[in-house]
Amino acid sequence: MTTFLTNKIITLRALEPTDLEILFKWENDTSLWAVGSTIAPYSHHQLWEYLKTYDGDIYTSHQLRFMITLTESGEPIGTMDFYDFDPFNNRAAIGLLISSDYQHKGYGKITIELIEQYASQYLGLKQIHTLIPAGNAHSISLFRKLKYHQAATLKSWLKMGTTYTDAFIFQRVFGN
Domain around 134: 10-173
Tell if the pTM clears 0.85, that is, is over it: yes
4 within some domain: no
CATH code of the domain covering residue 61: 3.40.630.30
Q: What is the pLDDT of residues 141-151, one digit of tens each?
A: 999 999 999 99
Q: What is the mean pLDDT of the chain?
A: 91
Residue 13, judged by CB atoms within 10 A of its CB (0-12, 13-18, 19+), counts as middle
34 within some domain: yes
Residue 125 backbone dihedrals phi, psi, to 5 degrees: -75, 145
Confidence of residue 36 (pLDDT cuts 50, 70, 90): low
- Three-state DSSP state, 58: helix
Q: What is the pLDDT of residues 67-99, one digit of tens each?
A: 999 999 999 999 999 999 999 999 999 999 999
Residue 138 predicted with pLDDT over 50: yes
